[in-house]
Amino acid sequence: MTLTFDADRKTIVGDLFAFSDLAPLVDGRPLPAQPCRTEPIPGGRLLTWPCAEPIPGNAFHLAVRPCVLPEGHQGLELRYWIDGLPAGAAVDAFGLSIGRADDVASYLRSGYQSWDGTCYVPVGAPLPDGPDGTGGAGYALSQFLPKRGAGSAVLGFLRHDRAQHRFTFAHHGGSLSLTVETLWDRARHQGVVESEALVLFEHPEVEDALRLWARAVAMALPQAPRAIGRITGWCSWYNLYAAIDEAVIREHLAAAQEVARADSLPMRVFQIDDGFTPEMGDWLEVKPQFPRGMKPILDEIRDAGFLPGLWIAPFLVGNRSRLYREHPDWVVRDAATGGPLATMTFYGEFRWHKRSEEYYVLDVTNPEAKAYLRHAFRTWREDWGCGYFKTDFMHAGSAYGPDRAAWHLQGLTRIEVWMRMARLIREEIGEAVWLGCGCPLWAPAGLVDAVRIGRDMGVEWGGERPADTLLRDQMTRNFGHGILWQADPDCILLRDRFHAFSDREVEGLALLAGLSGGVTMTSDHLGELSPERRALWHFVLGDGFAARCNYPLLGAADPVIVQVRAPQGGLPGFLFALNTAAEAQDRRFDLAALGLAGAMRLRFRAWPTGDEQECAEETIAVVLPAHGWRLFEVSELPPMTPKERR
C-alpha cells in the first residue's frame, strides 16, 4: 500500500483514505491565513507558513518524506517545527490540523494511561467522554478503519519520552476532522520547538498494523524494551483490599505455597498491595499491623519460593502524612492559588482507608524530594529485599501542564518531569521486576517490565467497574504486548462467593485474561478454591511462559470477542469466543479471517469437556449463551489421503 503527498493541495492520498487540508496549529488555534511556500528537500517536500500570531516566530515548517518501517513496510514521516522564536516566547502546544479524513468508518481513540480507555469510535457517533474534558481526546496514535473493504491506516508518533502528543477529533455529519498536537508545556527552547517523528501508513490488517507501529516505537527507544519471563502469581488487593495484617498475609502465603507445590503451578510472584503504610508518602513507615516491619515477611515470601513484591504510589502525598507535615514544599503547587495541587480529594465520609482528605503530587524536580524517594526505593530493594515493584497512580506526574501545576524546576514538559521519576525508579531497583499501574502506556517502554492496560477488576458484570471496559481495553491494547512491555489485564477472580458474577462469567473473564499470555495474577485464597476453580487457575497459568494471542476481528462492532493463537511448530493453538451481550449469539467464523486457514486439516478440542471435532471446511460455527464462551484447542492434522477423500 502506497501513500502520496500532494504538497500543493496539502493532501495525503492512499489506497484506502485521503487526508486533506493540512494546516498548522499553535496553542490550539490555526495560524492567520497566509500563503504557504513549498519546496523540495532530500526525499520529500517542505511546507512553510509565516508565523507571527498567536506567538511571534519566523515560520512554521512541515517536512514530509517517505520512510521505511520495520519489515520493509512503506509509509510517510511527518515532522513539524517552529523556528525564529524569541528566547522568552512560551509555547503550550503546536501541531497540525487535518481538515478532512475521507472514507473513514471509525477511528481509534487511544487513551493515555492505564485507566482512561481505548476504543473505536464510529464517525458520526457521539464523541466518547474523555477524562480531560476534551471530548474523548486520544494520545500517541490513532488508527482509521475504512468505509469499504479491509485494512487500516495508522498515524502515530515514534518517541514518547520527551513530550505528550494529543489527538482531538470532530465529526461533521459523516466526515471526520482531527488535530495532532505536541504538548510543549512552555518548556525551554533555543528559538526552535520541534515535534517527534510522526508516521502514517496503510496496512491490509488491523491488529498487525498496530503491532507494526509498536515495533517502530521499540526501534526508536533510547533503550531496548525489557524482556523477562511471564509475570504470574498472587496479589493481595482484589480479595483483601486494604484489610491486611501480617497474620492474614502469612495465611495466604502458606496456602499459595501449598497449592503451587501440589498442583505444580508456575507461580512466580507474591505481592503485598496497598495497606501496609500509614499514609501516602510515608513509604518507610509501616502500620502496627506489621509489628516486625516488612523485611521479615518478604524473607518468608522468598523462602516460600516466590519473588516478594510490594505496592507503592510514588507520586502521591497525603495531606496527613508525616512527609507533608515536615516538608510541605516537596509537593507540586497549584499555579492559580499557590497552594498544594490536589490530584484527588475525599471530603465526605469515605476516606479511602487512610486519614488524608487530599492527595498531592510529589515534586520530583525538587532535589530533596527526589533524594528522599531514591532512599525509599533503595531501602525497599536493598534492605527489605523487595524484588517486584507495583507502582500505582503513575499518571499523576504527567496529568498537568503549566496552566495547573507549578514545579520546583520550571521549563520542562510534563513528560520530561515524569521521566525523571521513571528513570529514578529503574536506577534504584536495578533488575527487579517493575509493573506500572495507572501508568502512561508508551513513555515507560524500555524501563518497565509490564503495564496495566485497563481499569481495576470489579465484582459484577456491570456497575462502577464493568467487565466490558476490561474486555475492550484488553483487545485494543493487546498489540503492545511482547513488543514494548508485558500486558497486565488485571487480576483474575477465582473465588465462588463475595461477588455478583455467575460461574460462566468468572470462567470467561479468567480465560480471556489468562490466554492473553501476559501478566496473570489472582488475589483469592488458593486454599479455599473449589477443585473446578483450581483447575481453571492451573489452565490459565499454562506452562508459565509468556505468549501472544491475536484478536483477528479487532475493530468490528460485534459483542462476540474472538481470541486466537494459531498452532505453530507442532504445538497446538486455541480459539476462544466470548459473548459479551446479555442475549445469546450464533456465529459462523471464516477460518481464514481468524488466521487458521492452511493446507492442514484442523482438529478442535473443546475445553474442559474434551469433545473433538475435525474441521476440513472453511468455517466453524459456535453457539454462545448470554455472557457465554467456547474454547477449543486447535491442532494441525496431516492432509487427507486420497483414500480418506473417497
- Is CATH 2.70.98 what the domain over 3-220 is classified as, yes or no? yes
Confirm if 461 and 505 have CB atoms less than 8 A apart: yes
Instruction: Give the DSSP per-residue string, 354-376.
Output: SS-SEEEEB-TTSHHHHHHHHHH
Instruction: Give the DSSP per-residue string, 577-609.
Output: EEE-SSS-EEEEEETTTTT--SSSEEEEEETTT
pLDDT value at 644 more than 60: no
| Of 284 and 557, the one with more pLDDT | 284
Q: What stretch(es) of the chain map to CATH 2.60.40.1180?
A: 560-645
- Look at the block and give the residue holding cell 493541495: 9
Condensed to tens digits (0 to 9), the pLDDT of residues 324-376 reads: 999 999 999 999 999 999 999 999 988 888 999 999 999 999 999 999 999 99
| Cα 461 from Cα 476, distance rounded (Å) | 19
pLDDT value at 138 more than 50: yes
Q: Give residue 486's pLDDT.
A: 97
pLDDT value at 187 more than 60: yes
Q: Say whether 532 sits in a helix, a strand or coil.
A: helix
Confirm if 541 and 267 have CB atoms less than 8 A apart: yes
pLDDT value at 131 more than 80: no
Confirm if 16 and 104 have CB atoms less than 8 A apart: no
pLDDT value at 53 more than 70: yes
Least confident of 172-176, 195-199, 379-383, 590-594: 172-176
| Cell matching residue 10 | 496539502
pLDDT-derived band at 80, boundaries 50, 70, 90? very high
Top-level CATH class of 560-645? mainly beta
Q: What stretch(es) of the chain map to CATH 3.20.20.70?
A: 232-314+365-400+411-541
| Cα separations in angstroms, 452 against 129, 350, 478, 490 | 21, 26, 11, 7
Q: Give residue 448's pLDDT.
A: 98
| Cα separations in angstroms, 640 against 40, 117, 600, 604, 632 | 60, 47, 9, 16, 21
pLDDT value at 399 more than 60: yes
Condensed to tens digits (0 to 9), the pLDDT of residues 207-244 reads: 999 999 999 999 999 999 998 999 999 999 999 999 99
- The mean pLDDT of the chain is 93
Condensed to tens digits (0 to 9), the pLDDT of residues 512-569 reads: 999 999 999 999 999 999 999 999 999 999 988 888 999 999 999 899 999 999 888 7
Confirm if 229 and 546 have CB atoms less than 8 A apart: yes
Strands 141-146 and 104-110: antiparallel
pLDDT-derived band at 619, boundaries 50, 70, 90? confident
Condensed to tens digits (0 to 9), the pLDDT of residues 440-458 reads: 999 999 999 999 999 999 9
Q: Give residue 639's pLDDT.
A: 60
pLDDT value at 134 more than 50: no
pLDDT-derived band at 130, boundaries 50, 70, 90? low
Those residues with Cβ within 8 angstroms of residue 241's Cβ, 6 or more apart along the chain or in another chain: 275, 353
- Is CATH 3.20.20.70 what the domain over 232-314+365-400+411-541 is classified as, yes or no? yes
| Cα 444 from Cα 433, distance rounded (Å) | 14
pLDDT-derived band at 133, boundaries 50, 70, 90? very low
Identity of residue 124: G
pLDDT-derived band at 643, boundaries 50, 70, 90? low
Q: Give residue 616's pLDDT.
A: 60
pLDDT value at 645 more than 50: no
Q: What stretch(es) of the chain map to CATH 2.70.98?
A: 3-220
Condensed to tens digits (0 to 9), the pLDDT of residues 86-126 reads: 988 999 999 999 999 999 999 999 999 999 999 999 998 87
